[in-house]
Structure 1
């Protein structure tokens, strides 16, 4: 190793730096000397989280070798921009306009924006978007719009046109936090770059901390014949190599399957594999060493001898006759029917009869294995705390759920394990997985020392789950007025190598085929099966985007066949009072007619836009879709607690995991609203979150449940506290008076749907009432297609959603625009396969850049108060990512007359479809073979019912489901 001493002007101060000139990058040096606002996300210069200004120009520090930087260069990072008491206008604007969500990309964006304003103090919105696109500043949370808003507003202040006060939140006259744009409490640390995420904690762990690296499978499907660690053990700095024989507990991450129609009741997924591997993300050994570099070098020296087995890259291959079952599990292994109304075959048969008023369309559709693509590395730390408990810090979406699951994996009692959520750089569902926590837990127990793990982006892509791929054969019958008469579907969810959380993914799909409509007669089957790709896991909207891919397209196909406007077709069929859901129960409320009436002028404007002259060589199209999601399940509960402290302060405890969606402001808004009769100001409320040692079990941050459930539990806790504080004269006791009278100062709140009368879907018919609340959304997309290339450009998306009363507009806007961005990526570019380095980078997976997302995005909120929700609120997040991808597909069909049946709609697919149309052919897949004919399966199910009432929910199922 060769070292160099140099002097550099860093944030305006000359600093001496000693660097390893052979190996260190600019990002590594700056982080090593304490400037951890620089984040290493992708590690290959694609995401911009590491952006710094080098002599005034933005550079991606993760790929810039430090030896290439001349001495006395000027380096600017976020730490040099502003202070907590004197924020820079960009930092203030990021807070005001909701530019901060998870905050992991925030330092890179703000520094990049400063670089722009230094050279262009009066940029247009397109100038800002071009700058972020050119400099590869990626954001997965916001949809970019709020970031552009912030730059424009900050520029106005920097030019002297407005004051800094214009960037501050002004408290309303009633001093209310709820239903306002009150800033997120965690935003300050994020815009200053001082919030420590997992990898920042990694490099700041105490002396004696050991570093981990994993030996991953080299094969997608193989038996393990031998594992040779001899050479790896002799590598510098190696302390131990952990294999399956060293794992405390059962070496088992697999979980039970409770659905009565699952052919498998328990599946096997080792923590460390020693007999077989089923995907590239399987881990075979853990290397523990003195440094990350030494651990990684040793992991490369572990030799594994394999016996290759057949590789099935999709369910379509795994379900073929003669295919070898993965882990002995047949594909399909899970079934959920939907049998409603009259026999559909009789209705479809009438389509061929003379004078029949039955019209039929059918098609086969598929959706991709969508990666979550959060930019923070997969990272976790383990240690033993002051009470002797094994403690794991991770970006968990459910501290208590993971406490339960990891304690079972490690053979511990729950009381022996503590789980803490570290500040989190987003997950969108990926942090539901247990793998990373299991690896770190095993290493900590074996070594009895603190350990830390940080994966590369490529490794994170391997180890974390993805949205499952799906395949669907769908069929629709309507009369000539467009009224739905009958619907059939045969749908399969490709869960990858392990059916982790399978029921929470595939069973939900049975709710969403033609979900927002009056759909009287249905014969449908949802199946689940395996392949040798990444396992499925939660992803915003779980189950709904996959099913809407077929449902909202086949509605569009019918409208075009009948010559009915697509908006009008939907308007005629939307659920109205008295109509029942697909699953046979009334909708929770019926806002869609009013929502569509309000959206109709926007749709008519879009049609006028379509007729205007387009750019030469481009065709315009308009798409519409109606969707939504459900809130939670019948098996859910949430606990919080609140206590009064001295001097008029209150502490509020919950385990509402904050993945960037706004659990911090959601918690503050809820408890402040509940405490308003006491006149408590926000600065008198301390929110303590996401540590199983101190916080009650609030449930997982998933299923659009958190605000709804935590909010109701908060109202319960505060009511109990205020009842105890209330004197006979109607005034309230102080903390000192409570203590003097021997009254408790802390009270628990609980909200539960268990025993509420809700029911799981029947495994025999799919009928049931599984959710306490639901939400709806309408999207209208304007797109353009380049005829020469098939490239699709989304020009605008205008939407209206009903998620109840908005608790905080910044947080809900963030979910809305972020969900929309994910939907557009799902439609046009995003996919993942466990092969090739392409999928180990954000752009390789199709991550949209700023200019890939339209600046013209609007959301209106139709705020129907929920009678059973906290302060009228419902659940929000997932409706925003449920269906808009289909809006784009429908708009493509409107623009160029071809339909893209298989996601994503890459330019080459669109071009091939247009060429096929020109040649008189249709570019469409044939009917998918998904296993035994679904009519036969449904007949078998009807002939052999397994339940006359929902099965009793076990404690494990309730804890595991969490929603």
Structure 2
């Protein structure tokens, strides 16, 4: 132990610390300065823990406190407050650089150090200054703009007041700042791991180290004797159904079948996390290790054992039949084929898993309270209730550090709830990043053997596809992933005949779940690749080929749904001058080591699924404001802004008079999941209906206030319900109306390929998007930019290998140094049924990005890549195969 004197946020302090104590733990655990975040298991890989020490950026997870004698430390809490923010914090809010906000404190402090030393940095200097700081939401573009804006503020060139939206600005169509963005900029937004729960037990989970095994027994004796251990629970201690998955085969704790590396078998509760982890490591597993089937080919092989005994490994089949594709392809002037592969991909939210659970009350009347980062709190509360066998479960959603579909599934919550109930004490479950990667669903791998044809005039004739989707070990939403892929298979194009045979296959690998786009991104890779292959075979320009094959009003999609509106062609038309300019620029770089290419891809993304329903309530407040109630999660996409701006517009109120109550099952109706770009379309329209009911009551009674409404015998609160009543798609034929509306867009990638190293750099992405009526242009642009960055990662560098991918160095999603220029052009074609004509955009945004980039690579070097990601090794191998 050593006594250290230092200054933190202007306050002189003394601390007696052990030699291995790092600054991050001192700040978060001792001083409750939780603005500094922990993402990378204290490896210095993420920058979320960045603070300033003696005027320089320091990753506090690496810095020993014993090395800080006399140091001056500044955390984000010491920079400014919501009432008196620093100009850099103002700039991040106004530029739209804050989405989930998990990375924001570290970004802001890194920016301060950069601007202190270089008041007017170049874009390259900004990238270098933020090279240690990761962001998964934004694509870095708005962060770079925030740094530049902060420089302008600090140089006195403009002020925040000049850029803030005004009180009398129309709530609709204006880029108002998000409701919680300043709280996040000041490090005060409370994420799950930030919650102080004095006296809570820390839990650790004992997990299988094998990809496939049978559990024969557990030896707990040594672990139970270890210091600080309160107890150990197994599957036998769970009183409920012991299932936490969306299917019926994912136990909270396993007792026999261990189908995947990381399957949970026991929970250790201890006084400290260190003690819990030590005891968990001491639990001995007696396992019969079995041969693992890590991919679909192995799992489908003759004689392959069933991964879940009694259930075939081919666990779901679906198809799509429109006309006679086989006959159409036989008559086609040109046919192309390919075996396309989209790998297992991690959604990679920066925040690891974290859950707090406790019993509120005593005895059988106690309420089991779970605090986590769900985007579907009402169903998840019910799932926890069923899993652990407790009738009264409340779920509170903390701020979440991104999710991108990963929190459609229960992960850490059921384990924490089971432990709180069993040990009858509050518990915290804060798994490492590595463990978080083990226990969360991923984007499904797709293998797509595809044939696609066109006639001599360049018109598409049909497509055949054998689609094999690797489900992984547990059932989540695999069948829905296939259905979504089929229902958007034709994208924005008219494909007259379609025949698809799709299989979902269990494997001994990480299980697939929701991931941004959820099915269409994988299928679109094959379709858009074939579009380019056909254009080349016909000697047509890829843009012109897409233009003449764009679906027209009255024609039908691959699932037979008639296009009653189709803004896709308008997006393509708007892109044309950008495409012509990019083609001319690339033409000058078709030889030599660095070669340039241009690629296109599009998407028509459906929203409003059959049977979907959302409930939103409104209440007129005593001060004349409006409270909006709905379980509308916002882990970064902007739902809070959507509800606030829409509510203010509908009631003709200033935005500060709108109050959101959205994160608690006890105070909200069920608004459905925040996924699939559904919240704007579904909950936004439910809000419209609720306000209409309130306004009708006020008009009927002549009331203008809550008091007058109640005096007239009317309630102050009204519910809006938005329901999708169409019937959906037949699973055998893949025909039927699936979507109530579509978001349309096209993207263009410009890339530079090094033919000696195989390295691919995205130079620029250009997106033209029509998301209907736009509520907040900046929020829409931010979603598009973040999606394009994620799509670029999918195209070039991201692939998850279960058991080998363990941190942010081994999972290579884009860094600030990989950032590229982005340009977004927004079109507005109001839709018939969305709130004031609006629909969602967040899921759509990456669907065209990766195929556009892969197409651009081929344009640059004449080589087609059929598997992603296009790593340097794969690019070089493809080049060598054409040479030989």
Work out whether the TM-score is over 0.5.
yes
1:184 is the counterpart of 2:160: no
> How many residues in Structure 1 have an aligned counterpart in Structure 2?
878
**Which of residues 344, 356, 359 is equivalent to 2:334?**
359
Q: What corresponds to 2:667 in structure 1? A: 694
Show the counterpart of 1:303. 284
SS at match of 1:857: strand
Matched, 1:109 2:77: no
CA, structure 1 residues 388+178, in 2 after alignment: closer, same or farther (shift >3 Å)?
Answer: farther
Find the aligned partners of 2:623 and 2:375 in 1 and give their Cα distance.
Answer: 34
* 1:864 equivalent in alignment to 2:829: yes
Q: Structure 1 CA distance, aligned partners of 2:156 and 2:645?
A: 33
In structure 2, the CA distance between the partners of 1:385 and 1:587, relative to structure 1 (3 Å rule), is farther
- The 5-angstrom pairing of residues 596-635 of structure 1 reads 596-613=572-589, 617-635=593-611
Counterpart of 2:21 (choices 24, 27, 35) is: 24
Output aligned runs, 1:32-111, within 5 Å.
32=29, 33-43=31-41, 44-67=43-66, 69-111=67-109
Task: Give the one of 796, 802, 815 matched to 2:783.
Answer: 815
Query: Could you say if the C-alpha distance between residues 348 and 649 of structure 1 is closer, same or farther in structure 2, counting changes exceeding 3 Å?
Result: closer
- Please say if residues 631 and 773 of structure 1, whose CA atoms lie closer than 8 Å, have aligned partners that are also in contact: yes
Match of 1:339 in 2: 321
Which of 6, 9, 12 aligns to 1:11? It is 9
SS at match of 2:843: helix
For 2:812 and 2:54, the matched residues in 1 are separated by 31
Q: 1:649 to 1:723 in 2, by over 3 A?
A: same
**Secondary structure of the residue that 1:607 maps to in structure 2?**
helix
Alignment deviations for residues 839-866 of structure 1 (CA, whole Å, 9 cap, x no partner) = 1112311111112120x20111111101
The aligned residue for residue 785 of structure 1 is 753
Matched, 1:251 2:242: yes
Counterparts of 1:481-496 in structure 2, within 5 Å, are 481-496=457-472
CA RMSD in angstroms comes to 1.5
Contact 2:568 2:604 in 1 (8 A): no
The residue aligned with 1:205 is 197
1:559-574 residue pairs with structure 2 within 5 A?
Answer: 559-574=535-550
- Kindly state the Cα deviation for residue 594 of structure 1 after the two structures are TM-superposed: 2.0
- Conserved in 2, the CA contact under 8 Å of 1:224 and 1:307? yes
Aligned-pair CA distance for 1:733? 2.8
- 1:37-66: CA deviations, max 9, x gaps? 110111211111001112222121112222
Q: Give the Cα–Cα distance (whole angstroms) in 2 for the partners of residues 255 and 82 of structure 1.
A: 43
Aligned to 1:227: 218
The aligned residue for residue 907 of structure 1 is: 872
State the 1:658 CA deviation: 1.2
Q: Who is 1:742 aligned against? A: 713
Distance 1:50 1:448, change over 3 A: same
* Pairing of 1:800-949 with structure 2 (within 5 A): 800-836=768-804, 839-854=805-820, 856-919=821-884
Deviations 1:727-773 (A, max 9, x none): 56xx53312222333321111111111xx3x2221122110101111
Contact kept in structure 2, 1:400 and 1:419, CA below 8 Å: yes
Judge conservation of contact 1:252–1:270 (CA < 8 Å) in 2.
Answer: yes
Residues 628 and 878 in structure 1, CA contact (< 8 A), matched pair in contact too: no
Encode CA deviations 1:848-894: one digit per residue, 9 max, x unaligned.
Answer: 1112120x201111111011110110121111021210001001111
When normalised by structure 2's length, the TM-score is 0.97
Matched, 1:388 2:366: yes
User: What CA distance in whole angstroms lies between the structure 2 residues aligned with 1:181 and 1:707?
Assistant: 16
1:289 to 2:280 alignment: no
Pick aligned residue for 1:709 from 682, 685, 689:
682
The separation in 2 between residues aligned to 1:268 and 1:554, in whole angstroms, is: 37
1:170 paired to 2:141: no
Q: Does 1:318 align with 2:288?
A: no
**Cα distance in 1, alignment partners of residues 501 and 783 from structure 2:** 31
Cα displacement (A) at 1:512? 2.8
Q: CA deviation at 1:613?
A: 4.5
* Residue 662 of structure 1, CA deviation: 1.4
Distance 1:29 1:167, change over 3 A: farther
What CA deviation, in whole Å up to 9, does each residue of 1:217-259 have, x standing for no partner? 1101001111111111111110010111111212223445xxx
Q: Equivalent residue of 2:850, what SS?
A: helix
| Partner SS for 2:139 | coil
Q: Tell me whether 1:403 sits opposite 2:412 in the alignment.
A: no
Which residue in the other structure is 2:635 paired with?
659
Q: Check conservation: 2:488, 2:606, Cα contact below 8 A.
A: no
Per the TM alignment, residue 167 of structure 1 is displaced from its structure 2 partner at its CA by: 4.3
Contact persistence 2:137–2:786 (CA under 8 A): yes
Partner of 2:409: 433
Deviations 1:127-175 (A, max 9, x none): 1012212xx111000000000000001101111222232342334x5x3
Q: Find the counterpart in structure 2 of residue 931 from structure 1.
A: none
The 1-side partners of 2:16 and 2:736 are apart by 66
Question: How far 1:349 moved relative to its partner?
Answer: 3.0
Q: Where do residues 472-487 of structure 1 align in structure 2 (5 Å cutoff)?
A: 472-487=448-463
- Alpha-carbon distance between aligned partners in 2 of 1:88 and 1:654, rounded to the nearest angstrom: 33
Q: Distance in 2 between matches of 1:632 and 1:379?
A: 31
Q: Runs of 5+ in structure 2 lacking a partner?
A: none
Question: In structure 1, the residue corresponding to 2:282 is in which secondary structure?
Answer: coil
Q: What SS is found at the alignment partner of 1:147?
A: helix
Give 1:11 shift: 2.0
Distance 1:751 1:492 in 2: 35
SS at match of 1:648: coil
Q: Secondary structure at the match of 2:779?
A: helix
1:723 to 684, 690, 696: 696
| Aligned residues of 1:281 and 1:534 also touching (Cα < 8 A) | no
How many angstroms apart in 2 are the aligned matches of 1:594 and 1:432?
A: 34
How far did residue 614 of structure 1 move? 7.7
Give the 3-state SS of the residue equivalent to 2:487 in structure 1.
coil
CA shift, 1:615, in A, is 10
What secondary structure, in the 3-state scheme, does the structure 2 residue paired with 1:294 have?
A: helix
Is the 8 Å Cα contact of residues 674 and 714 (structure 1) preserved in structure 2? no
The superposition leaves residues 610-638 of structure 1 with CA deviations (integer Å, 9 ceiling, x where unpaired) of 02358962111100111131113101111
* CA shift digits 1:711-742 (9 cap, x unpaired): 111111111112222256xx533122223333
Contact persistence 2:356–2:372 (CA under 8 A):
yes
Of the structure 1 ranges 75-84 and 460-469, higher mean CA displacement relative to structure 2 is found in: 75-84
CA offset at residue 13 of structure 1?
2.8
Tell me which residue corresponds to 1:941: none
1:588–1:774 Cα contact (<8 Å) kept: no
- Work out the CA distance in 2 between the residues paired with 1:526 and 1:862: 35
Q: Is the 1:628–1:883 contact (alpha carbons within 8 Å) kept by the matching residues of 2? A: no
Aligned counterparts of 1:659 and 1:316: Cα–Cα separation in 2: 37
**Cα deviation code 1:517-564 (max 9, x no counterpart):** 111111111211111111111111000011011111011111111110
**Rounded Cα–Cα distance in structure 2 between residues aligned with 1:887 and 1:317:** 32
Tell me if structure 2 keeps the 8 A contact 1:760–1:768: yes
In 2, the alpha carbon distance for the partners of 1:518 and 1:683 equals 47
- How many Å separate the matches in 2 of 1:683 and 1:116? 34
Structure 1 runs not aligned, ≥5 long:
257-266, 352-357, 920-963
